[in-house]
Amino acid sequence: MSAGPTQPRSEPRPPVRHMRRNPPIAGEAEAIAQAQAGDGESFEILYSLHKRRVYSLCLRMLGNVAEAEDLTQEAFLQLHRKIGTFRGDSAFSTWLHRLAVNVVLMHLRKKGLPQISLEEALEPSQEDGPRRDLGERDLVLSGSLDRVALERAVENLPPGYRLVFVLHDVEGYEHNEIADMLNCSIGNSKSQLHKARMKLRDLLRSGQRKEESVA
């Protein structure tokens, strides 16, 4: 005897009838407007559109799968509460990602984990090699790299380095924005990014040497 149709996972409302009162939602803008008006199905559309990127952001910032899953859910709970405050001054994805970043940072503060070392020197040490502009693009890291190897290397960065690297090189925040989010100076943000990139180069080279030795 075949089982009946399964309901969508995590469905908080009664099953939706096949006959809909509202016309199909044309796109994200309409989904946002209807979600702001309290339409649950429109909110679920936004969740489906953005859940993967929000989860990826949380995972990169935290380096922990379980925490990333929990904070992804928390980010969308916050979105449900605050979506009425979205005014379209920026792209919705940008606004949502900033909301998710704040959720992660609040989580880290509650745990008392050090996000960034404010005592760390603003200049790179002599061990880091020749001085260069700390805000410039790292040509080695922006080249063609194995995505899995890069993701693994990012996960192995110290928490402070990882946060600044993800916020700047992945999410595209400027150093003044990062300094405001992490309560540090702009120079410290640049220093942390420089050190994160140097550490990533070392991790990627080490991983490549291991692969070559196995081969």
Report the CATH number that the domain containing residue 149 is assigned in CATH. Answer: 1.10.10.10
The pLDDT tens digits for 82-117 are 999 999 888 999 899 989 999 999 998 887 755 444
Is the model more confident about 13 or about 1?
1
Same domain, 104 and 152: no
| pTM recorded for the entire structure | 0.64
Euclidean distance between CA atoms 98 and 4, whole angstroms: 41
For residue 105, the tally of other CB atoms under 10 A from its CB is 17
Asked if residue 73 belongs to a domain, the reply is yes
pLDDT at residue number 203: 86
CA distance 33 to 107: 29
State which amino acid sits at residue 8: P
Provide the residue count of the chain. 215
Number of domains in the chain: 2
Q: What is the CATH number of the domain that holds 98?
A: 1.10.1740.10
3-class secondary structure per residue, 41-94: HHHHHHHHHHHHHHHHHHHHHHCCHHHHHHHHHHHHHHHHHHHHHCCCCCCHHH
Same domain, 146 and 194: yes
Q: Are 46 and 35 in contact (CB under 8 A)?
A: yes
Crossing angle of helices 147-155/40-62, nearest 10°?
A: 70
pLDDT tens across 48-72, in order? Answer: 999 999 999 999 888 889 999 999 9
Task: Tell me the pLDDT band of 210, cut-offs 50, 70 and 90.
Answer: low
Give the structural domain span for 181. Answer: 136-214
Return the pLDDT at 212. 59
